[in-house]
Every structure is written in C-alpha cells, then in structure tokens.
C-alpha cells in the first residue's frame, strides 16, 4: 500500500515562528502536493511539485514556501506563522501516467498558531 | 479558473433512505474523484471516474460522470449510519492526477 507520512499530527506555534511541515511518501511518486483544509472551503492547493527541486504555486501560495530536495520528501514552510494559517494541512502524492491514477493523502497535520 | 461546486453542503437523512450529492464543475475535464473523510481523519479514495458516462459502484454508493454536462453524482442507496462522513468531489484539471480542485464537501449525517 502507498504510504504518505506527515511527521507531525498536531502542532501549536507562536505568531512569527518559522514552521516546517514534513511529508514523506514511499512509492516513488513523481508528484507531491500540499493542501490546506478549512471548514466550508474544502481543500485548497498551496504548492505542488512534479519532480525533485521543482515546485509550482497552487491557488493559495502566499505566506508559504516548499522544498523538495529528495523525491520522497516534500516540505511545507511557513516563514513567519500567522493566526490565519491555523488549519489542517494535508500532503498528497501521485504517480503520473497510466490509467486510473489516484492521489494518496497523508493523515494530516493540525496546526494552531497562537 | 476551474470552479467546483458541490451540493448540498450538509445532508441529514434517515437510515434506509436514498439521496444524491451533486458536483458541478466549470471547465472541461475527463477525470473526477470522490473522497470520503471521517472526522479528524485524512481522505479516503472512493471512486475515480475517467470518462464520460463512467459509472462505478461500491456497496451503497454509486458515482457517475457526465462530462458534457460537467456533472458528477454520488448516489446513496438505503443509507446506513456508517456512511456518516464528509464527501468531497475533486476535478483533475491537468488530466494526469497531478492537480485536483476540490468541492467544498458535503457533510452527511445518517440518523437512526
């Protein structure tokens, strides 16, 4: 089974802190994604990556950056956390090509910024 | 910009009843996904619909896709309490499982 692991399930950080959310997948997937989920808004794409060292902005990249130095690892960085970044963050990965592609999600990281 | 509208946002239904969740999207796409999310949990893939007219069924859930109408439906037959969850549709705008745009979700509550 595909496994997408997010290192921290619950975090509480202070305003202005630098926050790292780590995600690792074990199926050699090319694509990796970071979403945030908020009530009534569904999931919104922050950043995604098609390959190592490549990244593209999603729909809401402001206040975030990402890093993909290795194929299996995709990190989301909040340079200076703010209270409006309190949310659930979901990492996902997928394999490109073929028929019947699906995207696999991690368990989620609940971030509270106080 | 791709928009995905899902309705209803909240659905309370009695066990044994049937109902349909609707997912409309604004641009051409041949791939649509349905996910289930239990409270505090991640997303579980339910269905991947890859072409016009695709229909998939799993237990009491059946999903269909009409790409001409830009509409997908998730039909619930004879609901049971275990189906209580939030259901999301998502459209793949790149066609390669590479970028999904999600609907707002439908929170389903099945009461006894």
What residues have CB less than 8 Å from A13, skipping those under 6 apart?
A19, A78, A81, A111, A112, A113, A114
pLDDT band at A2 (very low <50, low <70, confident <90, very high): low
- Per DSSP, chain B holds a count of helices (H) and strands (E) of 0, 11
Residue B27 carries which DSSP code?
S
Query: Rounded to an integer, what distance in angstroms lies between the CA atom of residue B106 and that of residue A3?
Result: 26
Task: Give which of B31, B37, B42 to mutate to test A binding, by max A Cβ within 10 Å.
Answer: B42
**Whole-number mean pLDDT of chain A?**
91
Whether residue A33 lies within 8 A of chain B, CB to CB, comes out as yes
What residues have CB less than 8 Å from B3, skipping those under 6 apart?
B25, B26, B101
- Number of Cβ pairs < 8 A linking chain A and chain B: 62
Query: Rounded to an integer, what distance in angstroms lies between the CA atom of residue B94 and that of residue A96?
Result: 11
Whether residue B33 lies within 8 A of chain A, CB to CB, comes out as yes
Nearest CA among B79, B90, B88, B82 for reference residue B107: B88
Whether residue A2 lies within 8 A of chain B, CB to CB, comes out as no
What residues have CB less than 8 Å from A29, skipping those under 6 apart?
A2, A71, A93, A94, A95, A104
- pLDDT at position A48 is 92
Question: Residues of chain B whose pLDDT is less than 50?
Answer: none
- pLDDT at position A36 is 96
Whether residue A104 lies within 8 A of chain B, CB to CB, comes out as yes
Angle value at C-alpha A58, between A3 and B106, nearest 5 degrees: 70
Query: Rounded to an integer, what distance in angstroms lies between the CA atom of residue B56 and that of residue B20?
Result: 14
Query: Rounded to an integer, what distance in angstroms lies between the CA atom of residue B95 and that of residue B30?
Result: 7
- pLDDT at position A101 is 61
Residue A104 belongs to what H/E stretch? strand A103-105
Task: Give which of B5, B97, B102 to mutate to test A binding, by max A Cβ within 10 Å.
Answer: B97
Judged by CB atoms closer than 8 Å, whether chains meet at B43 and A40 is answered as no
B contacts of A94 (beta carbons < 8 Å): 97-98
Q: What is the dihedral of CA B49, B53, B54, B60, to 10 degrees?
A: 110
Whether residue B77 lies within 8 A of chain A, CB to CB, comes out as no
What is the average per-residue pLDDT within A17-42?
A: 93
**Which tokens go with A51?**
């390959």
A contacts of B104 (beta carbons < 8 Å): 40-42
Nearest CA among A17, A2, A35 for reference residue A78: A17
Query: Rounded to an integer, what distance in angstroms lies between the CA atom of residue B109 and that of residue B112?
Result: 10
Query: Rounded to an integer, what distance in angstroms lies between the CA atom of residue A38 and that of residue B102?
Result: 12
Question: pLDDT by residue (tens digit) across A76-107?
Answer: 999 999 999 999 999 999 887 655 567 889 99
- Using CB atoms within 10 Å of the CB of residue B51, give its burial: 0 to 12 exposed, 13 to 18 middle, 19+ buried: exposed
Whether residue A102 lies within 8 A of chain B, CB to CB, comes out as yes
Judged by CB atoms closer than 8 Å, whether chains meet at A105 and B90 is answered as no
A contacts of B42 (beta carbons < 8 Å): 90, 105-108
């Amino acid at each position: 089974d595909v496994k997408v692991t997010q290192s921290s399930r619950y975090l509480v950080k202070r305003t202005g802190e630098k926050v790292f959310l780590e995600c690792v997948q074990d199926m050699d997937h090319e694509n990796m994604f970071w979403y945030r989920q908020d009530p009534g808004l569904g999931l919104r794409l922050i950043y995604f990556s098609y390959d190592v060292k490549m990244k593209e902005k999603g729909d809401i990249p402001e206040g975030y950056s990402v890093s993909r130095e290795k194929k299996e690892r995709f990190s989301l960085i909040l340079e200076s956390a703010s209270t409006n970044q309190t949310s659930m963050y979901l990492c996902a990965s997928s394999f490109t090509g073929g028929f019947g592609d699906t995207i696999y999600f991690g368990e989620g990281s609940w971030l509270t910024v106080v | 910009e791709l928009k995905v509208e899902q309705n209803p946002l909240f659905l309370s239904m009695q066990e044994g009843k049937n109902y349909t969740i609707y997912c409309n999207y604004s641009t051409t796409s041949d791939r649509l996904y349905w996910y289930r999310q239990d409270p505090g949990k991640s997303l579980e893939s339910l269905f991947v619909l890859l072409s016009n007219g695709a229909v998939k069924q799993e237990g009491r859930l059946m999903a269909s896709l009409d790409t001409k109408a830009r509409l997908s439906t998730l039909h619930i037959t004879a609901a049971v309490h275990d189906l209580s969850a939030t259901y999301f549709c998502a459209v793949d705008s790149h066609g390669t499982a590479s970028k999904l745009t999600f609907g707002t979700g439908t929170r389903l509550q099945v009461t006894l």
